[in-house]
Amino acid sequence: MLTARAAVLLDAGGDPQLTDVQLREPVGDEVLVRIDAVGICHTDISVAARFRKLPMVFGHEGAGTVVAAGPRAARRVGEQVVLTFASCGVCSNCAAGRPAYCDHATDLNMRGGRRDESSALRLDGAPITAGFFGQSSFATHAIARSRSAVAVPESIDPAVAAPLGCSVQTGVGAVLNVLTPEPGDPFVVFGAGAVGLSAVMAARIAGCRTIVAVDPIEQRRTLATELGATATIDPTTSDVVAEVVELTGGAGAAVDTTARPDVIAAAVGALRTRGSLALVGLGALTAELPVALIMGKGLAVRGVVEGDSEPQTFIPRLAALHRRGELPLDKVVTTYPFDDFDRAWAAAKAGEVVKPVLVTGA
């Protein structure tokens, strides 16, 4: 048993608290990872708000160093890794190279491991729920299976590598893996948080000449412009659909990260003939969509989980894009010492920072 420091959610509806937990040894193909940096994703906040199988450790954008490996682990001690979502590896979607749509994705990622001896984490000696997105990395150490641990070059700063595991691969993958816009396709993103800004950077990589970012927060619109947006729209003062159509003649490709039914309906209305909208936000269970318009214009509305990524190949590709200066994530990340978890969590909840990343060595 190893003692680690973790942010543990103890009370329903509360905020995680830093406390000591115990981790067992890695078994099978698991690795024990010393977490060097971990990002806070909006999904941590929204799932924590309604999670009931407590105590629980969230965190699913861990980056760190392998310090122990199970007998069948694919990663070696000393390797730098990015932790990413879990998948079973054997269902038909995993076999087809689509692990984000694993038949067991919800159980493996959203629910955490069972609260029995199979849990890797204990609090005061008793097993607790863990394994959020195959990791539970709001901690100084985490256990993950090899499929969720992706080797990355040592040269990448862990604070920048951490969000590659979820929000960056989601935003970039929605554009480069799913929408695949042509340079002439005007691109629009609704919501310029970490996912939306990643989509903006990807649209620039794809060569899109017109890139529009919509967000009510001025600082995020400014950041979007720095990262490649050619125009921005404040939805609180503009008729967004009319403005998108005026700027672009209708979007060829669009991403919704807001998960707001009204925004999703508006996003469909802002598409040009045969345009596509990717839905990545978590929150809206239903939305009223203009079906006649979707049919008549041949529009596509497509859900996207984790950017449709196959992480073992896509995350190294993202790291290479960063190295070439094409994913300037340093502009998006704000680091906090791990001990300042409370401050980072509050800032993330309030939307004051785009991508808070906790750094353990600080």
Which positions lie near ligand NAD, rule CB under 6 A? 41-43, 46, 166-167, 170, 190-196, 214-217, 220, 235, 257-260, 263, 280-283, 304-306, 351
Shortest CB 194 distance to Zn ion, Å: 9
Question: Cα separation of 344 and 40, whole Å?
Answer: 8
Q: Which is nearer to Zn ion, 81 or 271 (CB)?
A: 81
Shortest CB 154 distance to ligand NAD, Å: 26
Question: Cα separation of 165 and 358, whole Å?
Answer: 14
Determine which helix (DSSP H) or strand (DSSP E) holds 81, and give its type and residue range: strand 80-83
Shortest CB 349 distance to Zn ion, Å: 15
Question: Cα separation of 162 and 158, whole Å?
Answer: 6
Q: Which is nearer to ligand NAD, 127 or 191 (CB)?
A: 191
Q: Do 32 and 2 form a contact (C-beta atoms < 8 A)?
A: yes
- Partner from ligand NAD, Zn ion, none contacting 309, C-beta within 5 to 8 A by type: none
Shortest CB 356 distance to ligand NAD, Å: 10
CA triplet 37, 152, 67: central angle to 5 degrees? 60
- Partner from ligand NAD, Zn ion, none contacting 260, C-beta within 5 to 8 A by type: ligand NAD
- Partner from Zn ion, ligand NAD, none contacting 91, C-beta within 5 to 8 A by type: Zn ion
Q: Do 362 and 335 form a contact (C-beta atoms < 8 A)?
A: yes
Shortest CB 17 distance to ligand NAD, Å: 22
- Partner from Zn ion, ligand NAD, none contacting 185, C-beta within 5 to 8 A by type: none
What length does the chain have?
362
Q: Which is nearer to ligand NAD, 32 or 200 (CB)?
A: 200
Q: Do 199 and 175 form a contact (C-beta atoms < 8 A)?
A: yes
Q: Which is nearer to Zn ion, 129 or 169 (CB)?
A: 169
Question: Cα separation of 153 and 236, whole Å?
Answer: 42
Question: Could you tell me which residues are beta bridge partners of residue 196?
Answer: none
Please compute Rg for the chain using Cα positions.
Answer: 20
Shortest CB 269 distance to ligand NAD, Å: 13
- Partner from Zn ion, ligand NAD, none contacting 109, C-beta within 5 to 8 A by type: none
CB nearest ligand NAD: which residue? Answer: 193
Q: Which is nearer to ligand NAD, 194 or 318 (CB)?
A: 194
CA triplet 191, 195, 201: central angle to 5 degrees? 95
Shortest CB 355 distance to ligand NAD, Å: 7
Helix, strand or coil, per DSSP, at residue 139: strand
Residues near Zn ion, by CB under 5 A: 41, 43, 87-88, 91, 94, 102, 166
Q: Which is nearer to ligand NAD, 21 or 179 (CB)?
A: 179
Q: Which is nearer to Zn ion, 142 or 240 (CB)?
A: 142
Q: Which is nearer to Zn ion, 90 or 291 (CB)?
A: 90
- Partner from Zn ion, ligand NAD, none contacting 257, C-beta within 5 to 8 A by type: ligand NAD
The owner of tokens 């807001």 is 258
Among candidate residues 138, 137, 115, 125, the one with its CA nearest the CA of residue 53: 115
- Partner from Zn ion, ligand NAD, none contacting 217, C-beta within 5 to 8 A by type: ligand NAD
Q: Do 359 and 36 form a contact (C-beta atoms < 8 A)?
A: yes
- DSSP E strands in 16-159: the ranges are 17-23, 30-39, 56-57, 62-69, 80-83, 121-123, 126-127, 141-145, 149-151
Q: Do 185 and 209 form a contact (C-beta atoms < 8 A)?
A: no
Shortest CB 12 distance to Zn ion, Å: 21
Question: Cα separation of 232 and 326, whole Å?
Answer: 20
- Partner from Zn ion, ligand NAD, none contacting 94, C-beta within 5 to 8 A by type: Zn ion
